[in-house]
Structures are given as C-alpha cells and as structure tokens.
Structure 1
Amino acid sequence: MKIIKPITNWLEIHACAPTYSGWVLAGIAICFFGAGVNTMAGWLYVISGVSFALLIVAAFLPQRSLVGLVVKRRFINPVSAGDELTVELEIRNNTKQPVNLLQVEDILPIVLGKPIHQPIETIHSQGSYNWVYNHPTVRRGIYRWQTVELATGAPLGLFWCRRQHECAAKAIVYPTVLPLTNCPLVDEIGQDDSIKSDPRGKPFQTATAGLTRSLRPYRTGDPIRLIHWRSSARYGELRIRELEKVTNGQDIVIALDSAATWEEDNFEQAVIAAASLYFYAQRQQMQVQLWTAATDLVKGEKMVLETLAATHAGEDSIAKAPNKPLIWLTPNPAIAFLPNGSRWVLWQNTSTVNWDYPGIIIQSDRPLQLQLQTGY
C-alpha cells in the first residue's frame, strides 16, 4: 500500500488514475477478452472491445474537463487569534463547455488545519464560481500557502483526475489584545526621572502632571485613590478621575526579549502582554514604540500587530534595545541594567530579582490581564 498510494497520487496529478469501479470494469474487460480468445466467440470480443473503449473515453474526459479552469484568490483580511479567517476563491471556466461535478480543495498549511473541500455541481461556459469559507484560528502567526487542487471524475466516474493550481495566500493572525482599564507599568514609567533641568539650571516638570482630564464611571480594578468623591456623591455612583500622563518628552518602548530562550506558553503570553501594553499606552496618548530583537523599533497599529504576529522565541538579534525608558518583557532574571526609568515583566518563578526598577513577576496560575492591571 505504501508503494501504490504515491503512484496513484502521481497518476491523478499528472494524468488520471482508475477508481475502484474503473479497476472492476478493466478486470471484466480482460476476462471477456480472455474468454473470447479461448472460445473464438465474436460476441465476447465485442463486449471486451466496448469495455476497453469505455475505459479510454472515461480516462480522457476528466482531464479535458479541467483544462481552461483558472483559480484566483481574494485578499485575506487579518484577524485576531480566536476569530475566523474569511477565505474567498474564484474558479472561472474560460472554455466553451460547462464543467460538471467538480471538487475544489484548498491545501492549508498543517499548523493552520486540514485541507478544505468544496463540491461544485456546474460552472457554466465563460462563467465563474465564488467559493467563500470561514476557517477558525487558534494562535497568532503569519500563515502562507499556495496550492489549490481541482479534481473530477465526471462524467462516468471510472477515472479520477486532479490538477494543482498555484494560488498564493497569506493570512495574518494578530495576537489577542487585552482590554486593560489601567496599568501601573505604563502609567508610572519614567517617573524616576520626571524632574529635569533646562539649560538655565531650572527644574522642568510637565505642567499637566496630576491634572484631572476627565471623569468616568468606576470599573473593577480601578485604584481607590483616583475616586472623585464629590462627583460620586452628586451622581450617586463612583466616578474615577482620568489624569494627564507624564512622559517627560521621552518615548516609551515596549521591549520584547525575543532573542531569549522561552517556554512556548510563556512566550505567547509575553506577545499578548506586549500588544496589550502598546495599545493601552497609545490610548493614554503616549509616544510608544515596540522593540523586538529581529525588527528593532516599530510603531503604528498595523506594523506592531504584524511584527508581533511574526515574532518567535530565540530569533536572531539585529539590534540592541534603545537607551530609553523600557517595559522589558523577558524570561531572564539575570539582566542587571536597564535604562533609567524602566520597568520589567518577568516570566520565571523566582523571588530574587536584583534590578534597580520595579516590575512584575507573572504567575502562570493567575489571569494575565489582572496581573498587568494590578501592577507591582
């Protein structure tokens, strides 16, 4: 069987291969021919000749049906992990004859799922068939595939024929972005160096620091110190002050230590944390960038999400982390020096972290969102 299957696949793709019924008819034709040789009966020769002619026609027609078919693929919109990809294919018949009883198979990469099949009853002459299907996603990544197979056994079903079409596809699955309501890691970054001096020697501090920007309803996890009690009494519900953030004119960098050696689940958590911290900082109107070992600094929603979708643990490092306040996401507790005003997030069970700045040790048995919102 191990030898027969590759031969059958080769025949189906490059010519055509008999189906079970085709083998049965071929066997019957051979038997009738043998009986005719032994008995010299003409009617046996006629039956065997008709059977062989039927086999020849059945082997020729499926191949002819697949000539002139063109496959085109529409652009696949990016989705977040857990959502469904929408894949759209157009199969066009450029011949003057309709094509009947066709099967289309989109050969997905193994990590994304099994091949998807779709039967098509008829594609009319100079017509087309639009096939749209949704495919679930589990993990982030950039997935590429390029093969679509068209197959048919029509009209007699005695032979099966397949033809492969090059039809490149690229599907981007973004990491999950957690809806953080607050995050001390981002809110307090850079405050260790919040007082600067201008060229005249006078201290400089952002004028809007500590000023109330707006009020909003209380959400679970909000710090009690930000409750505006007077407004809460007036509205009959707790109201939270949203303050202007101090960034001291410096960029904030979410730095993912992707060159390090990670456990698989921890690295996926770190990617989710990086995306969540980036978008939280962006909502706070901070100048934020993402750094990974393989890409250096990137910014912009699309670029950041695509970078995080493509990154992997242990990738080659092309750049050093910038000398700016960082939120350093790493599994390595041995790093001793970070730029002034930095914070860190560590994925390792340890109680000895001798770093100069505060941070979070992520516990695998607790929700990641809660730990990022609780802070240190």
Structure 2
Amino acid sequence: MGITARGVGLLVAAVVLLGVGFRFAYPELTLLGAAAGAAVGYAALTAAWRPRLTVARRADPDRVARGEPASMTLTVRNAARLRSANLLAEDRCGDRTVLVPLLRLRPGRDTEVRYDVPTHRRGVVPVGPLRVTRRDPLGLVALARPYGATTPVWVHPRIHPLTAVPTGAGRSLDGRVDGVPHGSITFDSLREYVVGDELRRVHWRTSARVGELMVRENVDTSLPRLVVLLDNRGAAHPERVDGVAESFESGCEAAASIVTAAHRADLPVLLLLVAPEPATPAQRERADADAHGDDSTGGQPLGPLDRLAAAGLSSDDAALRAATTRLRQDRLGDTLIFLTGPGGRAELGHVGALRGAYPSVVVGVFGAAEPTPPGTAGLVVVDAADGARFAAEWDGVRRW
C-alpha cells in the first residue's frame, strides 16, 4: 500500500491539528484533525478492498521468428457477484507497459484487450502479470496488486534456408542418405536378384513363395550426427551496439538455420553452448511446469530454437577449453560445426585439435573485419557478415 503525496500531507495535517487542538483546548482544530484522520483511514480501507478478477492470456503465436508479428490477447473478468470494478490497470509486455481499461466492469462481465508483442529482438519476452491499482476517491492512498501469471513469448532467431546438409562419416540406417554402404550384417529389406549378387544372400523361403529370386539387402546401421557448438563467450563478441552483439545474433541465426535444415533432412543434431547460461525466469517456469506435468505453458518442451531464443552472452571467457575437452571425451557426433565471433579466431587451435574425434569440422566466423587466413588450424572456415551471408557461403562449401 502506498500513500500519495496528498495523503501524506493530510495525515501530517491531521496529527498537527489534533496535537494543537488538544494542547491548547481548541475543539474546532481537534474536529478538523479528526476529520482529516478519518479521511485517511477511509481511503486506506477503500484501497485495501481486493477486487475479484480472473485473468486469462493467449499468445498468438507464442513462438515466432525475429521480426514476425505476434500478439497477446488479455481477458479480464470480474468474478464478484455484486460490486462493479472501476480500476486502473496496466499489463507488462517486455520493457513497456500497456494500459488496460477496467472502467465500470460489471459483475460477471469481462473485457478483452489485444496488443502486439515486440519481436524486433531475439529473446524471451515476458508478458504479465497484470498490475491493478486501486485508489480512493480523494486520491490519498493507492494500492497495486498483480493478477495472473507471466506468459513468455519466444522470439527465435531468423532461419535462412540451407541447401547442403553435411552427412558426416556415418551413414543412414534406412537409406535416407545417398551413398549408403551395403553389405554389412544388418538386415534392411528384400529386393529382386540381379546379376552379380552373392547366392549366400538369397532368401530362399521368400523366393519360393513369390516364384523369383529375392536377395537380402543389408546396410550400415551407423547414423550421421551433427554437433553445433555456439560460442556465447563475451570475449568472442567484443563489439556491441546498444548492448547487443550483432555477431552473436548472426551466430544464433546460423545455428537455428543448421538445426532446422538437419531436422528437415531427418538427421540427428545436437546444439551446445560453449558457456552454459543460468536459466532465465521463463526457463525456470517452464522447467517447473514440465516437472509437475502442468500443461498451462502449452505442453511444448524446450527445443533447440527455444534455447537459442533464451541464449545470452556469458562472462566465462575461459570456457572454450573445457567445452572442447568434453567434446573430445564424449565424441557426440561425426560432424562438428563451431560458430564464433571475431574474438574467437585466436582460439581456433582448440577446435582444430578435435579433428581426431570428429572427422569433419566446420567453423563459422561472424563480424570479423578481415577474412580468416586460409588453412587456419586445418579447418574449413566460413567468414560471414551475418546469418544470410553465412547461408550463401555455407551452400558453397565443398568439403565437410
């Protein structure tokens, strides 16, 4: 509860008038002081009344790419039976506030407000809670209370279409990748016999049933796996504009594009950050909801694009050595894609040392003033100014 400047002045006047009236036996002053004190007490009781409001939110959609439109629909219902609500309310949407009119909201009625959510920057935009301010008619006391929960809107990085997707040293289980090696011990399918097939691979029972020779087709069951390592160290992205590192934003766009292209090609992909970031409030809320089986947040698990939306720069500038050590020990895939900024080129040797564990290593460098010298650490390096330029250069890479 907050007392306004007018309320403070009236309360001080009430104390002074009562003191002077009792001290010098002036009943008129005592009466004025009592009236002023009663007015402040009435204002406090009026502002303390808690309206019964129910708040519902609907984000449309709750996940968008950077720059795409998104809106929030807020529905406020007066759950009281007798008393109308005449309040001042504002909703928090990221860094700005949106006024919500709750004038003469009758019992059992509701009002709906729809407004746009800013999506010009990648990140998690928290929307809510609704803040309702209750004032007395004299403007002496104001009390603000929150209503409803916070709903996050996930602004993903822009996705640029990639034509080429590295398949690594492994091959597909079911022949989705071209050039699948044949002849292993794992059965895949049956096909008609062609000249040159070994007779020991003929499936005689099926051949007798269909009336022609059928041959077992065996393939290599290893599955190609991509590992995307995004450098989120502050030292790797030293240049900032209004607190935003554009090279890191470009790296997030490149990571999102690679992950999306891999999913479309039905290839497994793993997204890692060099320095793990502490969980944001929206992430903690989603993790708690998932742990308790609560579908109030939409029931959608955090995916790679959500992690990219919530990713931020870390102050742990020495995390690259620890990250490469873990990658060397775990061997999480056969193709490693490292995305960094101009400040990360000096430490590409740590990434180059992973070529023994990862047959194919590709490095993307964003925002550098000069191109990376050819043959740096024996790696395939793609220099790009932004995510769109990276997509164009990526499709031109011939060796993975």
TM-score by length of 2: 0.59
| d(CA) in 2 for partners of 1:118, 1:61 | 21
Aligned to 2:306: 306
The one-letter amino acid of 2:309's match is A
- Show structure 2 runs of 5+ residues with no match: 172-177, 185-219, 238-244, 275-299
Aligned to 2:190: none
2:229 to 253, 257, 265: 257
Aligned to 2:382: 360
Aligned to 1:122: 104
| d(CA) in 2 for partners of 1:195, 1:72 | 53
Q: Tell whether 2:76 aligns with 1:91.
A: yes
1:199 to 183, 196, 221: 183
Distance 1:306 1:188, change over 3 A: closer
Aligned to 2:250: 269
Cα deviation code 1:191-233 (max 9, x no counterpart): 9997665339xxxxxxxxxxxxxxxxxxxxxxxxxxxxxxxxx
Report if the CA contact (8 A) 1:146-1:166 is conserved: yes
Aligned to 2:95: 113
Distance 1:28 1:253, change over 3 A: same
Aligned to 1:329: 339
- Secondary structure (helix, strand or coil) at the match of 1:333 reads helix
The 5-angstrom pairing of residues 93-242 of structure 1 reads: 93-95=78-80, 96-106=82-92, 112-143=94-125, 147-165=129-147, 167-179=149-161, 183=163, 186=164, 198-199=182-183
Q: Tell whether 2:55 aligns with 1:71.
A: yes
The one-letter amino acid of 2:54's match is V
Count how many residue pairs are aligned between Structure 1 and Structure 2: 299
How far 1:159 moved relative to its partner?
A: 0.9
How far 1:132 moved relative to its partner?
A: 2.9
Report if the CA contact (8 A) 1:86-1:135 is conserved: yes
Report if the CA contact (8 A) 1:35-1:44 is conserved: yes
Report if the CA contact (8 A) 1:251-1:324 is conserved: no
| d(CA) in 1 for partners of 2:56, 2:166 | 51
Q: Tell whether 2:42 aligns with 1:57.
A: yes
How far 1:130 moved relative to its partner?
A: 2.8
The one-letter amino acid of 2:248's match is F
How far 1:98 moved relative to its partner?
A: 0.8
The 5-angstrom pairing of residues 276-355 of structure 1 reads: 276-280=257-261, 286-293=265-272, 303-312=303-312, 320=330, 322-330=332-340, 331=344, 332-334=347-349, 335-336=351-352, 337=355, 339-340=358-359, 343-347=362-366, 349-354=371-376
Q: Tell whether 2:3 aligns with 1:18.
A: yes
Deviates more, 1:97-106 or 1:322-331: 322-331
- Secondary structure (helix, strand or coil) at the match of 2:309 reads helix
How far 1:351 moved relative to its partner?
A: 0.5
Distance 1:278 1:251, change over 3 A: farther
- Which consecutive segments of 4 or more residues in structure 1 shift more than 6 A? 191-194
The one-letter amino acid of 1:306's match is D
How far 1:257 moved relative to its partner?
A: 1.3
The one-letter amino acid of 1:289's match is P
Report if the CA contact (8 A) 2:228-2:271 is conserved: yes
Alpha-carbon RMSD across the aligned residues, in angstroms, is: 4.2
Cα deviation code 1:292-320 (max 9, x no counterpart): 2369xxxx998342243244566886764
The one-letter amino acid of 1:156's match is L
How far 1:57 moved relative to its partner?
A: 1.1
| d(CA) in 2 for partners of 1:78, 1:134 | 14
| d(CA) in 2 for partners of 1:162, 1:325 | 54
- Show structure 1 runs of 5+ residues with no match: 1-11, 201-247
| d(CA) in 2 for partners of 1:260, 1:56 | 55
How far 1:346 moved relative to its partner?
A: 3.7
Distance 1:93 1:291, change over 3 A: same
Distance 1:98 1:168, change over 3 A: same
Cα deviation code 1:129-168 (max 9, x no counterpart): 3333323133323455764432121332111112234613
Report if the CA contact (8 A) 2:53-2:147 is conserved: no
- Secondary structure (helix, strand or coil) at the match of 2:150 reads strand
